[in-house]
């Protein structure tokens, strides 16, 4: 069922968990197989937090990152996943601690100055434009001096297209609905601006595109179809552009049909992942 009541647009069922896990696999490849940006030193990391972590196999980015980091020099790090809902937390995890927490609220004191790396991904459809400032400040509080924030979003940049009418329509729909819900489609630009204002140093906003590897084309097309089936359909209904779930599904099916025909003639836009990295000052 499409979710129209909650502030959070996506659902939290098994199907959504599977979608997020498949999306994670693609985004890893899009970022040239870097879970963590190369500029962030890995050998000194001993504690990692992932905020808005909740995915199917138990916090997929944090799980993959823990496996990667624990190989770096043989020692185990501390890993903590936070999410506003526990619905997608794994039933048992020996290696990762989990807490329910809203990123827009200050973290409990036990987490202050604790993390070498804080990761956040895909909150564009969840938080309001006015909440980015508190989110960025709350993360600052839990980072150790010299620790890094890495925040990643698929935002408006992905849907800017010169020649793809499906992307024009998706961009129009997302932009109008996010505005109506006081959310921010230009999420990565906003995060960059708030990090600059909050006193982080070495702030960078980077763009990764699936274009770098032609083998990612089919997987990218599949992920866009999944985004249309969830986010586009939901936003049509939430914004009142259509008045029933059936109508939202029909409009989405038409859009997907058009998207697939464009892909068949080679008009297959890349997915872009925007990554902001920022360092808490060393003092």
Ligand X SMILES: C[S@@+](CC[C@H](N)C(=O)[O-])C[C@H]1O[C@@H](n2cnc3c(N)ncnc32)[C@H](O)[C@@H]1O
The least CB distance from residue 16 to ligand X, in Å, is 8
Selection from 248, 123, 102, 136 nearest residue 185 by Cα: 123
Residues 6+ away with beta carbon under 8 Å from 199: 140, 281
> Minimum distance from CB of 179 to ligand X (Å)?
19
* Cα end-to-end distance, the chain, whole Å: 49
Q: Is 85 a binder of ligand X (CB under 6 A)?
A: yes
- Chain positions 220 to 239 lying near ligand X, rule: CB under 6 A, are none
Task: Give dist(CA 228, CA 169) in Å, integer.
Answer: 11
* Residue 17 touches ligand X, criterion: CB under 6 A: no
CA dihedral 165, 167, 173, 178 (to 10 degrees): -160
26 three-class SS: helix
The two three-digit tokens of residue 256, written as one number: 């997907």
Per CB under 6 A, the list member of 49, 118, 122, 216 interacting with ligand X is 122
Which region, judged by CB under 6 A, interacts with ligand X, from 50-58, 72-80, 136-144, 194-202?
50-58
For 112, the token pair is 């202050």
Count of CB atoms situated within 10 Å of the CB of 73:
10
Among 65, 88, 138, 186, binds ligand X (CB under 6 A): 88
Q: Pick the closer one to ligand X by CB: 88 or 234.
A: 88
Measure the CA–CA gap between 7 and 222, rounded to whole angstroms: 26
Q: What is the C-alpha to C-alpha distance for residues 276 and 198, in angstroms, rounded to an integer? A: 14
Half-sphere exposure of 232 (CA within 13 A, CB side): 25
**Would you say 127 or 277 has its CB closer to ligand X?**
127
CB-nearer residue toward ligand X: 127 or 263: 127
Closer residue to ligand X, CB minimum distance, 24 or 190: 24
Nearest by Cα to 12 from 63, 52, 56, 59? 56
Nearest to ligand X of 47, 88 (CB atom): 88
Residue window 21-40: x/- pattern of binding to ligand X, with contact defined by CB under 6 A? ---x----------------
| 164 or 210: CB nearest ligand X | 210
Quote the least distance from Cβ 191 to ligand X, whole Å.
Answer: 14
The tokens of 90 are what?
A: 């794994």
Q: Which one of 96-104, 110-118, 205-213, 223-231 is the stretch in contact with ligand X (CB under 6 A)?
A: 96-104
273 binds ligand X (CB under 6 A): no
Q: Does 126 bind ligand X (CB under 6 A)?
A: yes
* Contacts to ligand X from residues 173-192, by CB under 6 A: none
* Shortest Å, Cβ 74 to ligand X: 28
Task: Sheet with 272-279: list strands edge to edge.
Answer: 97-100, 78-83, 47-51, 115-121, 143-153, 272-279, 201-209
Binding site for ligand X (CB under 6 A): 8, 10, 20, 24, 51-55, 60-61, 83-85, 88, 102-104, 121-123, 126-127
């Amino acid at each position: 069922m499409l979710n129209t009541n909650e502030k959070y647009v996506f659902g939290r069922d098994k199907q959504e968990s599977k979608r997020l896990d498949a999306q994670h696999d693609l985004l890893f490849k899009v970022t040239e197989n870097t879970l963590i940006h190369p500029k962030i030193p890995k050998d000194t990391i001993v504690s990692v937090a992932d905020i808005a972590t909740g995915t199917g196999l138990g916090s997929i980015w944090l799980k993959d990152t823990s496996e990667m980091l624990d190989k770096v020099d043989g020692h185990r790090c501390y890993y903590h996943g936070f999410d506003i809902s526990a619905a997608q937390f794994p039933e048992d995890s020996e290696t990762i601690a989990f807490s329910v927490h809203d990123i827009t609220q200050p973290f409990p004191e036990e987490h202050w100055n604790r993390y070498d790396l804080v990761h956040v991904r895909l909150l564009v459809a969840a938080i309001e434009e006015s909440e980015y400032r508190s989110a960025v400040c709350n993360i600052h509080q839990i980072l150790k001096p010299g620790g890094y924030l890495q925040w990643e979003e698929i935002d408006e940049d992905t849907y800017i297209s010169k020649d793809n009418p499906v992307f024009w329509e998706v961009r129009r729909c997302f932009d109008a609905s996010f505005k109506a819900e006081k959310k921010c489609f230009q999420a990565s630009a906003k995060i960059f601006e708030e990090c600059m204002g909050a006193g982080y140093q070495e702030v960078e906003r980077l763009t990764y595109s699936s274009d770098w590897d032609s083998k990612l084309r089919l997987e990218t097309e599949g992920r866009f179809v999944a985004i249309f089936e969830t986010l586009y359909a939901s936003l049509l209904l939430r914004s009142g552009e259509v008045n029933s779930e059936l109508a939202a599904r029909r409009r989405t099916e038409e859009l997907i049909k058009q998207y697939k025909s464009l892909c068949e003639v080679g008009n297959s836009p890349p997915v872009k992942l925007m990554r902001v990295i920022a360092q808490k000052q060393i003092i």
